[in-house]
Amino acid sequence: MWVYWFGKFSLKKLHKANFDKYYKYGTVMKEEFRYGFPLVQIFDPKDIETVMKHQGRCPMRPANEAVAHFRRSCPERYASLGLVNAQGDEWNNLRCKLNPVLLRQKVINQYLPALNDVADDFCSLLRSLRDDNNQVHDILTTLYRFALESVVMLCLDTRLGCLDTEMQLNSEAQLMIDTTMKIFEAYQELYYNLPLWKYFETANYKKMVQAESTAYNIASKYIDRAMEQVRELQESSCLNPEESGLTILMSLLSRKDMDPKDIRMVMVDAIVAGIDTVSNSLVFVLNQLANNPKVQETLYQEIENVLPARTPITAQNVQHLPYLKACIRESFRISPSIPSTVRILQEDVVLSDYQIPKGTPICCHTMVTSRLPQYFDDPDKFIPERWLGKDEMWNCQYAVLPFGSGPRACIGRRFAEQELYTSVAKIIQNFEICSVTSETLECNYRFMVVPDRPITFTFNDR
């Protein structure tokens, strides 16, 4: 790891280092990661497909040891390490309880009316934030507010008021946003740097502990309210765990086999991940649309045809927005929020003619494969049409994996996609988005892919 401390690539530019490694070493290489810890890195979609198809029933990935240590030290708060850091039966037990709730399409669809409302409120907020030139500066800070409002509505059945024009900088909502930023900053430093936290509490370890505790405490207030509602429904015999109309939180709270501590942890993790992934995914797709006006106009015409007179998005009409979905997928190809996926296989596997022993961490660099010309024509250009062909790029499906693949794929994928479809459609319906600079937007790595600078857009009313 010394190359990231003293070499030409910093941890913020880890994705650029991965491109450099591909061009220097080819489709497969081994790197000593963290003090003699071997890590195989692969850059071929066929090899990535092989890894994903050999994950097994309980896929494994390297845990963030600092987070795992902290959660084990707080048994009164955490019953398990959570979906990200748990392994084996512990992970499988938790995932099997969550799948019927979080992957059920009926549950996802019932949130669409509320998501429409949140997206409408966001468009109103954008109007109020514009200056005399219709510009909104540092748009990512506003997108954080949208992402928090929508993910809390999904997870905790409430509105925080993040989209109120008078939201104060010292509000609980702003504290949650700031806390999320601190969590991912600490995660990155703890994961990639010397594990001095094992010997004494380093500044980054303290930062992570404080941030996780703050997020946990804020979310717990709303979970406590929902628990009280569930108890009232149980006492009146009005609660059926199989009823499709129950919200996510109430469905989980009604399960007798679900530890309440796990429910709190899952909700907190979902909120933290949702704030960062949705907001950064949105800023990259909006940037592409702002810099590709012909694409934006094509998308606007599709939305107007399917959703005339600001028709709300429903589970039915969203199926008739293929260009919208293609725009978001193309943005994920160029700027995925998660640049790679790591798996530890429980059997030997052959990748590019190399035999990889079981138990070896294998990093699948999809952010690199998705930008290579042998898999995508004009890979640096934003071309949503590439996803609209008859084969829909099926032969490159493992080159673009923004949510992972297999049993351990992101459990919130469908909700995240629903948020993106709804918000982008509403924004394009209301505004023509223009970029104020010709400067290319680059990425930084902060455990996720984020913009390297503040961004300003012009939002002209349609």
Query: Domains of the chain (ranges plus CATH)?
Result: 11-461 (1.10.630.10)
Per-residue pLDDT of the chain (462 residues; tens, 9 = 90+): 555 666 677 778 888 889 999 999 999 999 887 666 789 999 999 999 999 999 998 999 998 999 999 999 999 999 999 999 999 999 999 999 999 888 888 888 889 999 999 999 999 999 999 999 999 999 999 999 999 999 988 888 888 889 988 877 778 888 889 999 999 999 988 888 888 999 999 999 999 999 999 999 988 887 788 778 777 776 776 655 555 456 788 888 878 888 989 998 999 999 999 999 999 999 999 999 999 999 999 999 999 999 998 899 999 999 999 999 999 999 999 999 999 999 999 999 999 999 999 999 999 999 999 999 999 999 999 999 999 976 656 667 899 999 999 999 999 999 999 999 999 999 999 999 999 988 889 999 888 899 999 999 999 999
pLDDT in tens, 78-92: 999 999 999 999 999
- Determine the Cα–Cα distance for residues 326 and 333; give it in Å rounded to an integer: 10
Interhelix angle 413-430/139-156, rounded to 10 degrees, is: 130
Q: Can you list the positions of beta strands (E) in 287-387?
A: 341-344, 349-351, 354-356, 361-364
291, exposed or middle or buried, with CB in 10 Å at 0-12, 13-18, 19+? middle
> Annotated binding site for heme, which residues?
410
**Contact by Cβ (8 Å): 144, 275:** yes
pLDDT in tens, 262-295: 998 999 999 999 999 999 999 999 999 999 999 9
User: How far is it between the farthest Cα atoms of the chain?
Assistant: 67
The continuous run of DSSP H or E covering 235 comes out as helix 203-235
Full-model pTM: 0.93
Give me the pLDDT at residue 446, please: 83
- Determine the Cα–Cα distance for residues 147 and 178; give it in Å rounded to an integer: 13
Give me the pLDDT at residue 240, please: 58
Give me the pLDDT at residue 224, please: 85
Q: In terms of residues, how long is the chain?
A: 462
pLDDT in tens, 174-230: 888 999 999 999 998 888 888 899 999 999 999 999 999 999 998 888 778 877 877
